[in-house]
Amino acid sequence: MHAYKNSRKRLFQYITENKMKRGDRFPAETELAEILGISRLTLREAMNALKQEGVISAIQGKGTFVSFDYHYIPNFLNLNKSVTEMIVDNGYTCSTSLFQKKLVKAGQDAAEGLDIPEGSDVLVCERIRLADGVPVVYSFDHLGAQLASHFLEITDMEFSLYNFVEEKCGIEIGLCMTEILPVAADENLAEKLEVSLHTPLLKFKVRVQDVYCNPLIYAEEYLRADKFKFIANRRR
C-alpha cells in the first residue's frame, strides 16, 4: 500500500510539475518509471488504479494520457479519505492556515450526528487546509465524547484527524455517511477560502462512526469546487 501511495503521489507531482493538461501523453512506461524512481510493476499498479478512477486513460498503440484538468484534486466517492489524505495522495503539499479548538453548543445537525441532546457542549476543531499554499477546505469537526479528551492534547496543526482517531485513540473507523450540497460563498467563506463572494462551493456534511456504529465525528466541510473532482463508480 505504501508503494502504491508513493507512486500515485509521484505521478501527480509529475503532472503538476510539467503542467500537464487533459490530453497530454505520458512518456513510455520504462522511461516514466525511471523518471519517477519506482519499479515498472509499482508504476503499472498505480496507473491501472488511476485509469479506473478516470484520472488517466490509455489508447492501445498510442499511449497513456491525462484525462482530467491537473489543477483538480480527484477522489473516489466510495473511499473514505480525510482531507489530509485527499490532498497528499494527489501529490500536493498539505498545510494549515487556521487551527482552532473551541467549545460550542451542538446545533440540530451536530446533535443528530453525534447522538447527543441539542444544545450540549461539544468540542470543535476549526481548520483551513491548503494544497500547495492555496486554501481549499474550511472545516468544522465536532468530536464525540470518546475523542474529546485525547484531542485536547493535540498541538500539531498538520495532523490528520482520521490518523488521530485510529493511531492515537486506537479506534477503528467504520461507516462514514456523507451528504454533498452545493452552496455559494458568503462573506465569511469567501474570506476564509480566498474566493469571490457567491463563488460555488461544495458543502460536505459528514457523520463518522466506529465499527460498532458509535458516533465519532460530525463534520461540516466547505470545499472549493474549482479545486476538487469527485468520481463515483456506479453499477446497476
Summarised one tens digit per residue, pLDDT across range 3-21 is 667 787 788 778 878 888 8
pLDDT digits (tens, 9 = 90+) for 123-149: 999 999 999 899 999 999 999 988 988
The bridge status of strand 63-66 relative to strand 73-76 is: unpaired
Smallest CA-to-CA distance from 164 within 178, 180, 146 is with: 146
Coil vs helix vs strand at 217: strand
List the grid coordinates of 95: 498545510
φ, ψ for residue 2, nearest 5 deg: -60, -40
What is the longest distance spanned by two Cα atoms in the chain?
63
pLDDT digits (tens, 9 = 90+) for 58-102: 888 889 998 876 667 777 777 788 888 888 877 788 999 999 999
Query: In the 8-state DSSP scheme, what is residue 64?
Result: E
| pTM summary value | 0.77
